[in-house]
Structure 1
Amino acid sequence: MSVFKVASRYAKSLIDLSNEQNTLDAVKEDMDAIVALIKSNAELQAVLKNPIIKTDKKLGILNALFQGKVNSTILDFFRIMVTKGRADLVFATAQEFIAAYNEVKGIVKAEVTSASPLSEANLESLRATIAQQINKEVLLTNKVDKSLIGGFVVRVGDRQIDTSIDGKLAKLERHFEGLN
């Protein structure tokens, strides 16, 4: 079974457990911090994935990092994973938890790529427009790509809207190639 499927199942279990305990939002906040910490620490990722490092050592590291700092449900859940030999999935499970949380809450991530940074007012206007179109809450991030020249590209899930000058030039080029 793929790492993604296993991590997704663990995340779903944690979502269900958090819902039962009415701690879903608090657990999500802690998971955001955990993902950021593990993502920024390659050594921690390596330790969790290394099968040679003993379980008690991994448990000690997780306790030192998270005890008293995150919801006890998360730490207990991670302890079970590590004890069952699934420490390599802690990071993937945390990421999948956030994705599952967003799905449960009807939150969609979107990205707008533009030639220069968009103002907060423009980002908010675009976020509101996207939210109205898809009838969900939207978390919008702005990425800068100078090669676009002007305009922007919006990605929401697997959909893309390209209003960039670069995109229009490419479309025009394909059109003229089709005439030959």
Structure 2
Amino acid sequence: MADLITIARPYAKAAFEFAVEKNNIETWHKMLVLTSEVSQNEQIRSILTSDMKADSVANLLINICQDVLDEFSTNFIKIMSENKRLSLLPEVLTLFEQYCSEKEAQADVDVISAQALSNEQLDKISIAVEKRLSRKVKLKCHIDPSLISGFIIRTGDMVIDSSIRGRLTRLNDALQS
């Protein structure tokens, strides 16, 4: 199962990134749901894994699912067919849905500053972090006077330290090495 997911990942990622770029996630999701269901049909599955020409297999799936396919999703099906990967459509759908969930997820971000930040400053931080993480953020603000000046942003494994205390620590480490 893990091998199938690994093979399906580039297709799911490409489909998701394209759908996000075109602001068309819902349409792509519907297309993947239908093509995935069709590909799981016993008769269709045997055709997808047969030695038929890629064009013939792709055209079969395209004709069955033509109501939900546009030019781009048709090309996506053709590419998957050329690479003999149409049987992976259920895994592609699963990964696509995971990417959608991650995109909609909200990240909790700790902002530690030497003094209270203005709403304008918080808005700028929020916009910058949302852009970097590609998801909505919820800021949790804390005050730590020992920072002297500046702030530290923490979320998950990411830490951005632009405090004076952090800079002095890095300078001290550099001088001692």
TM-score by length of 2: 0.51
Q: Deviations over 1:29-49 (max 9, x none)?
A: 23223333333x111122112
Letter in 1 for 2:62: N
Gaps of 5+ in 1: 108-180
Q: Tell me how far apart the structure 2 counterparts of residues 35 and 90 of structure 1 sit (CA, whole Å).
A: 5
Give the number of the structure whose alpha-carbon radius of gyration is greater.
2
Could you list the runs of 5+ residues in structure 2 that have no partner in the other structure?
107-177
The alignment status of 1:18 with 2:27, answered yes or no, reads no
| Greater than 6 Å deviation, 4+ residue runs | none
Q: Identity across aligned pairs (percent)?
A: 18
Q: Is the CA contact (8 Å cut-off) linking 1:31 and 1:98 kept in structure 2?
A: no
Residues 12, 23 of structure 1: CA spacing in aligned structure 2 closer, same or farther, 3 A cutoff?
A: same
Write out per-residue CA displacement over residues 65-119 of structure 1, whole angstroms, 9 at most, x where no aligned residue.
1224334322211111112333332332233222322332239xxxxxxxxxxxx
Q: How many residues align?
A: 105
Query: Are the counterparts in 2 of residues 48 and 88 from structure 1 also a CA contact under 8 Å?
Result: yes
The residue correspondences of 1:123-138 to structure 2 (distance < 5 A) are: none
Equivalent residue number for residue 69 of structure 1 = 68
| Matched position secondary structure for 1:2 | helix
Per the alignment, residue 49 of structure 2 pairs with 49
Query: Structure 1: which amino acid aligns with 2:103?
Result: V
Residue identity in the other structure for 1:29: K
Q: Aligned AA for 2:49?
A: K
- Separation in 1 of the partners of 2:97 and 2:37? 12
Matches within 5 A, 1:20-169: 20-39=21-40, 41-50=41-50, 52-106=51-105
SS in 2 for 1:8: helix
The question of whether the paired residues in 2 share the 8 Å contact of 1:15 and 1:24 is answered with: yes
Gap change, CA 1:68 and 1:33, over 3 Å in 2: closer
Aligned partners of 1:75 and 1:3: how far apart in 2?
Answer: 22
Distance 2:46 2:105 in 1: 33
In the alignment, is the contact (CA less than 8 A) between 2:39 and 2:87 conserved in 1? no
* Inter-CA distance 44–102: structure 2 relative to 1 (3 Å threshold): farther
Partner Cα separation in structure 2 for residue 88 and residue 32 of structure 1: 13
47 and 31 in structure 1: CA distance in 2 versus 1, 3 angstrom threshold:
same
Report the TM-score when normalising by structure 1: 0.50
Could you tell me how far apart the structure 1 residues matched to 2:53 and 2:28 are? 27
